[in-house]
């Protein structure tokens, strides 16, 4: 009886293992269909990577488990600066998602939960100026939402309460504010 119990526990622990195997292949050697990655017509578990054809530097590394993206994904620009870091669980974005411009400035930062925005989301322009600050609940805008032009002027400033918008939405006279001309004095 004790042997049976120990065998069942070991089998259960092994079956529940969700660690990505330590194997690496070029992404071009795999095929993808419906967001599932295959190697030789079988769902792939391991890491895929891409290399810069000129320098041989790593441009991408992604983890997969049973064909679905899993764990941390990283991409780099040709100049070796980090492009983005994303986190996945069972093929969906989960956790912190961060991207950078080629000059190293942050491009965006948000948290995802099952592929949907959750909590605060920030976007910057390539000079480092905050241009978008938003709040999300279950992938839907909720709470304070703000957008700025690259010159720092407010573009939109509104609040979403129970699905209703209140405030400056960024439009005027049926014309998008982005079509407006600002004159500096």
pLDDT digits (tens, 9 = 90+) for 109-153: 999 999 999 999 999 999 999 999 999 999 999 999 999 999 999
Would the pTM count as exceeding 0.85? no
For the chain, the maximum distance between any two Cα atoms, rounded to a whole number of angstroms, is 87
Long-range pairs for 28-34: beta carbons < 8 A, 24 or more residues apart: none
pLDDT computed for residue 10 by the predictor: 45
* Under 8 Å between Cβ of 63 and 70: yes
pLDDT in tens, 66-110: 999 999 999 999 999 999 999 999 999 999 999 999 999 999 999
* Under 8 Å between Cβ of 168 and 144: no
Residues across the chain: 185
Q: What is the CA radius of gyration of the chain?
A: 22
pLDDT in tens, 9-56: 444 444 455 799 999 999 999 999 999 999 999 999 999 999 999 999
């Amino acid at each position: 009886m004790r042997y049976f119990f120990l065998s069942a526990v070991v089998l259960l622990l092994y079956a529940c293992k969700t660690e990505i195997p330590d194997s690496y292949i070029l992404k071009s050697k795999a095929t993808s269909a419906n967001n599932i990655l295959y190697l030789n017509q079988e769902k792939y578990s391991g890491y895929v990577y891409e290399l810069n054809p000129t320098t041989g530097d790593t441009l991408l590394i992604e983890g997969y488990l049973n064909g679905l993206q899993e764990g941390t994904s990283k991409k780099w620009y040709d100049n070796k600066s980090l492009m983005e870091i994303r986190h996945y669980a069972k093929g969906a974005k989960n956790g912190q998602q961060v991207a950078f411009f080629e000059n190293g400035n942050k491009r965006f930062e948000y948290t995802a939960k099952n592929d949907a925005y959750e909590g605060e989301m920030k976007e910057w322009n390539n000079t480092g100026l905050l241009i978008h600050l938003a709040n999300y609940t279950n992938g839907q805008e909720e709470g304070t939402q703000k957008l700025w032009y690259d010159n720092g002027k407010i573009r939109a400033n509104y609040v979403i309460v129970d699905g209703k918008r209140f405030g400056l939405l960024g439009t005027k006279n049926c014309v998008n504010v982005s079509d407006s001309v600002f004159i500096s004095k």
